[in-house]
Amino acid sequence: MAGAGREHVPFHGSPRPTIGIEWEIALVDKVSRDLSNTAAAVFDSLGDLHAHDGTPQVTKELLRNTVELVTGVHDTVGEAVDDLRGTMDAVRRAADPLGVDLFCAGTHPFAQWSAQQLTRSEHYDELIERTQWWGRQMMIWGVHVHVGVSHRDKVFPILNALLLQYPHLLALSASSPMWAGSDTGYASNRTLMFQQLPTAGLPFQFENWHGFEQFVHDQFKTGVFEQLGGMHWDIRPAPKWGTIEVRVCDGVSTRAELAAMAALIHCLIVDLDRRLEEGETLPALPPWHVQENKWRAARYGLDAIVVVDDKSNERLVTDDVTDLLNRLEPTAKRLGCADELAFVAEIPERGASYQRQRKVAAAAQGDLVAVVDALVKELEQ
């Protein structure tokens, strides 16, 4: 019977609030601007790239049009972004002779999923066998941020409280308004695409680590997944690394915005950790409000009005971001990322990526090749 047992899941706590970033990058043809299934050739040219701690700096993804840049373990956002800069330069040198440019957004504006080739591996083969059409549709890119947490008992109080800022993270990073040549009307179509996978979407709000272990037992016993990596939640514990992994953000096309989003996530988790240490009962939202906030941010982006507390009070997400940044400023100074956090406030002023893409498309009379050109240039700068 489900729930009758419990799987022991050791959490290798991090002694300090470290940060690591994973940045999914697409490969596009220099001429057609369509996606290019050339990841294998890029890897052949790159050879093995590893961080000082042995972490692979470039890894394969489900589709052969994608490479993922991975940092080592760092203490500051600035160090992590510098790490990514060096890896990006190496990938660009490998891709350029192949007639390929680098691109990042939550989705590609006009590529067709049926033209994309899959990376063959036991894990990916099993994923596609199980998910079929929806699995083949996963032509999406995101940013994942890991933050170190010292003890397993902190993980779900922090994770549950972090869900209050889910719509803020998504609205600021939203970059997938277009899909297969059409404007979807959403700021982040990627978010709603990804949640169609049976193990993806919002995390369950467990009261403690034991509840999570019972869930893992049930999933293993019923064959939903065979390893924790098969749990594709938007925010999830990463027990092997001793981190909370935030996977909310759409693909980000500039280093400045990447650093800003990483700083916001780093500060949010460290601030919640501090409040927990000081004996505070962290706030949480009912699951129905969390789900509605996710949809509102995906649909309306920076114009979303979101539920901000368990009393069902609502607020424009950008107004709440302003107060949030002010509250997190002391934490950012302690973490050495005050400048990166401050840049978050510039995203609404400059326009989020989904807004910039629509502006380019309108100026080009609907030519979506121009949108890809603009995103490639943003990533190069």
pLDDT at 6: 82
- Provide mean pLDDT across the span 323-332: 98
- Provide mean pLDDT across the span 147-164: 98
Residues 6+ apart with CB under 8 A from 240: 12, 228
Listed residue (357, 328, 356) closest to 343, CA to CA: 328
Instruction: Tell me which residue has tokens 């690394």.
Output: 241
The CATH architecture that domain 19-380 belongs to is: 2-Layer Sandwich (3.30)
pLDDT at 52: 63
pTM, 2 dp: 0.95
Q: Using an 8 Å Cβ cutoff, are 39 and 31 in contact?
A: no
Instruction: Tell me which residue has tokens 């950012």.
Output: 332
Average pLDDT over the chain, rounded to an integer: 94
**The one-letter amino acid at 285:** L
Which tokens sit at 165?
Answer: 């800022």
Calculate helix-pair angle for 255-277, 152-162, nearest 10 degrees: 120
- Provide mean pLDDT across the span 231-243: 96
Which tokens sit at 285?
Answer: 């939202």
Domain boundary assignment for the chain? 19-380
Q: Flag whether pLDDT at 1 surpasses 50.
A: no
3-class DSSP state for residue 343? helix
**The one-letter amino acid at 77:** V
Angle among Cα 21, 26, 29 to the nearest 5 degrees reads: 155
Q: Flag whether pLDDT at 53 surpasses 70.
A: no
User: Rounded distance, CA 74 to CA 77, Å?
Assistant: 7
Q: How confident is the model at residue 4 (pLDDT cuts 50, 70, 90)?
A: low
Instruction: Tell me which residue has tokens 């899909």.
Output: 179
pLDDT at 115: 81
Q: Using an 8 Å Cβ cutoff, are 41 and 116 in contact?
A: no
CA dihedral 299, 302, 305, 310 (to 10 degrees): 100
**The one-letter amino acid at 191:** T
Q: Using an 8 Å Cβ cutoff, are 259 and 340 in contact?
A: yes
Burial 119-128 (b: 16+ CB within 10 A, else e): beeeebeebb
Q: Give the whole-number percent of the chain exceeding pLDDT 90.
A: 82
Q: Using an 8 Å Cβ cutoff, are 69 and 88 in contact?
A: yes
pLDDT digits (tens, 9 = 90+) for 351-372: 999 999 999 999 999 999 999 9
**DSSP, res 63:** B
Element (H, E) at 6: none
Q: Using an 8 Å Cβ cutoff, are 150 and 13 in contact?
A: yes
pLDDT at 267: 98
- Provide mean pLDDT across the span 77-101: 97
